[in-house]
C-alpha cells in the first residue's frame, strides 16, 4: 500500500461525509486524495471520477475498478467500536471505495492499464455508469460481498399495470366496468407468469421472482372505480432481458383481464432515464475471477443485489467484490440503520485487490 495513503483514515472521512442527497463533498474528498498521491483525476459530464495508470502501448489488459459515491437516505452518523465502523456507507460502498482506491494507488502496471471509475448515482438511476465507455477487458465492482468474488447477480425491473374501466353507481355495477375487480386478474397473472413464460431456474441465482408491491384504485365506497394500478417488482435471472420480460408479461396480463368486460390493461415500465439493471453472469474461469481467488478472495458465488455490474458485464468479464455484508445473522446491514463494516476486512480487501490487479496488469 502506498506510504502516503492511510486506508482506514480515508474510509473514516468518507463515512463521516454525507452523500445521500449530494455526492459533491465526498467526490471532492476522493479527488483530493488522488491528487495527494500524485494522480490527477477527471470528472466527466455525468459526474464520474476517473483516473488511469499504465499504458495502452504495452498490449496488456485494461482493468477497471468501479464503485459508487452515493448512499441511500437517511444519513447515519459515523461511530467506531474497536474493529467495527458503523455509519451510512460504511460497507455500501465506502468500504469498497477505500479498498479499490488503495489498490489503484499501489499497483504499478507493467504491460496493461488500470482505471478507477467511480460513479455518482448507483442507488438511483445510474446515469454515471450508463455514460461510461471504457473499452475494458475486465471490471471489478466494489460492493459488500464478504470478500467473495461474486460472478452473477439478479437484475431488477419495475413497472405497473394500469387498468382503465368505466365509472358507475355501485347500485348498478353492471352499467360500469370495475377496474379494481380486474386487479384480481392481474394478481393472478403475476402468480402464474413464471410457470408459463419465465426463464428456467438459474443454477446459482435460483428462480426469477415477480412480486406485486402496491395496489391503488377507487375513491368512494358507492362508486364503481374506473381506474386501478398494480405496481410490481421483477427480480430476473439470465438470460431474460427487460424487453423480453415486458413484452411477455403484457401479453400474459392481456389474457388474464380479458374476462373483465370493458376494462383495458396496459403494462408500463417505471420511468427511468437509463436501462434497468439486468441480470448478469461471468464465467468462473475468467482471468479476473482466477486472479481474485488466487489472491485470497472467496467464491465464486452470486451477489444478492442488483448492481451497476449489469452495465459492464455486457462488455467484459465482471466480478463484484468488497468488504462488508448485505445482511448478517441479526438482519439487514447495508441500507439499514446498523450498517457497519470491519476495518480488518477493508484492509484485507485492499490486499486482495492489489495482488489480483497487479497480477493482471
pLDDT, one tens digit per residue, over 72-106 is 999 999 999 999 999 999 999 999 999 999 999 99
Find residue 211's DSSP bridge partners. Answer: 233
DSSP strand pairing (138-142 vs 298-303)? unpaired
Q: Report pLDDT digits (tens) over 257-292.
A: 999 999 999 999 999 999 999 999 999 999 999 999
164 Cβ contact partners less than 8 Å away, ≥ 6 residues apart: 179, 226, 227, 263, 264, 265, 266
- CA pair distance 92, 69, nearest whole angstrom: 9
Domain range summary for the chain, segments of one domain joined by +: 7-153+279-360, 155-269
**Which DSSP string do the residues of 58-70 spell out, in sequence order?**
G---EEEEEEES-
- CA pair distance 221, 215, nearest whole angstrom: 16
Task: With residue 342 as reference, give the H or E element that holds it.
Answer: strand 340-342
Q: Report pLDDT digits (tens) over 49-77.
A: 999 999 877 788 999 999 999 999 999 99
Supply the CATH classification number for the domain 7-153+279-360. 3.40.630.10
Query: Mean per-residue pLDDT for 154-161?
Result: 96
Give the residue with greater pLDDT, 21 vs 2.
Answer: 21
Q: Describe the crossing of helices 343-360 and 94-106 by its angle, rounded to 10 degrees.
A: 40
**Which DSSP string do the residues of 75-127 spell out, in sequence order?**
P---EEETTEEESTTTTTTHHHHHHHHHHHHH---SSSEEEEEEES-TTTT-H
- In this predicted structure, the answer to whether residue 227 has a pLDDT above a threshold of 80 is yes
pLDDT grade for 1, boundaries at 50, 70 and 90? low
pLDDT grade for 2, boundaries at 50, 70 and 90? low
**Which single residue is written with the C-alpha cell 446491514?**
333
- Cis peptide leading into residue 239 (ω within 30°): yes
- CA pair distance 197, 323, nearest whole angstrom: 37
Return the CATH class of domain 155-269: alpha beta
Residue in 76, 67, 153 with CA at minimum distance from that of residue 349: 67
- In this predicted structure, the answer to whether residue 346 has a pLDDT above a threshold of 90 is yes
Amino acid at each position: 500500500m502506498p506510504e502516503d495513503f492511510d486506508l482506514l483514515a480515508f474510509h473514516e472521512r468518507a463515512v463521516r461525509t454525507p452523500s445521500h442527497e449530494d455526492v459533491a463533498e465526498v467526490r471532492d474528498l476522493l479527488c483530493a486524495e488522488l491528487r495527494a498521491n500524485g494522480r490527477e483525476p477527471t470528472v466527466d459530464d455525468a459526474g464520474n471520477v476517473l483516473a488511469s495508470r499504465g499504458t495502452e502501448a504495452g498490449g496488456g489488459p485494461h482493468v477497471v475498478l468501479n464503485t459508487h459515491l452515493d448512499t441511500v437516505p437517511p444519513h447515519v452518523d459515523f461511530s467506531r467500536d474497536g474493529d467495527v465502523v458503523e455509519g451510512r456507507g460504511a460497507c455500501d460502498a465506502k468500504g469498497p471505495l477505500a479498498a479499490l482506491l488503495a489498490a489503484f494507488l499501489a499497483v504499478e502496471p507493467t504491460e496493461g492499464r488500470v482505471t478507477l471509475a467511480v460513479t455518482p448515482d448507483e442507488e438511483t438511476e445510474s446515469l454515471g455508469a450508463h455514460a461510461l465507455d471504457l473499452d475494458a477487458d475486465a471490471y471489478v465492482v466494489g460492493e459488500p460481498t464478504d470478500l467473495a468474488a461474486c460472478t452473477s447477480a439478479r437484475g431488477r425491473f419495475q413497472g405497473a399495470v394500469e387498468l382503465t374501466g368505466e365509472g358507475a353507481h355501485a347500485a348498478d355495477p353492471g352499467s360500469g366496468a370495475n377496474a379494481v375487480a380486474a386487479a384480481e386478474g392481474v394478481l393472478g397473472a403475476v402468480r402464474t407468469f413464471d410457470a408459463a413464460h419465465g426463464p428456467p431456474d438459474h443454477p446459482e441465482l435460483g428462480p426469477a421472482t415477480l412480486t406485486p408491491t402496491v395496489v391503488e384504485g377507487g375513491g368512494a365506497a358507492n362508486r364503481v372505480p374506473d381506474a386501478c394500478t398494480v405496481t410490481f417488482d421483477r427480480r430476473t435471472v439470465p438470460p431474460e432481458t427487460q424487453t423480453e420480460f415486458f413484452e411477455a408479461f403484457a401479453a400474459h396480463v392481456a389474457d388474464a383481464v380479458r374476462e373483465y368486460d370493458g376494462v383495458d390493461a396496459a403494462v408500463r415500465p417505471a420511468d427511468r432515464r437509463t436501462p434497468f439493471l439486468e441480470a448478469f453472469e461471468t464465467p468462473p474461469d475468467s482471468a479476473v475471477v482466477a486472479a481474485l481467488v488466487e489472491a485470497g478472495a472467496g467464491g465464486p458465488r452470486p451477489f444478492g443485489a442488483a448492481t451497476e455490474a449489469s452495465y459492464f458485464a455486457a462488455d467484459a468479464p465482471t466480478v463484484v467484490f468488497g468488504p462488508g455484508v448485505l445482511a448478517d445473522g441479526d438482519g439487514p446491514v447495508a441500507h439499514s440503520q446498523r450498517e457497519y463494516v470491519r476495518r480488518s476486512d477493508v484492509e484485507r480487501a485492499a490486499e486482495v485487490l492489489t495482488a489480483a490487479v497487479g497480477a493482471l496488469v
